[in-house]
Amino acid sequence: MLKVSAEQIRLMKHTTGLERDKLRKTKYKPYRNYYTAPCEQESWEDLVRQELATKTSYINGVEYCITNKGFELLSIIFEIKIIKE
């Protein structure tokens, strides 16, 4: 069973640029799918463990991206259809 906090949902929403004023009726096409941080973030690491996000490590930090499973969760929570490229 997935266990996602309000803070994690906010992070996922920010990662995709999701805002109500950018919706086309009940559809949304993300214009980005990344969140960069200078080091690992526990909220994100939990999302990675649940397969809702992926992580890529770089010399100067970490980049997190939402997975298909993560997009499905956001679609359910916000009752929208997320259209990816």
pTM listed for this prediction: 0.90
In whole angstroms, give the CA distance from residue 30 to residue 13.
10
Alpha carbon of residue 56 to chain centroid: 14
Q: Which residue's entry shows tokens 């991206």?
A: 65
Backbone CA torsion sign across 10, 14, 20, 24:
negative
Domains of the chain, CATH where assigned: 6-78 (1.10.10)
SS3 state at 74: helix
Show pLDDT as tens, one digit a residue, over the chain (85 residues): 889 999 999 999 999 988 776 667 788 788 899 999 999 999 999 999 999 999 999 999 999 999 999 999 999 998 888 887 6
- First-to-last CA distance in the chain? 28
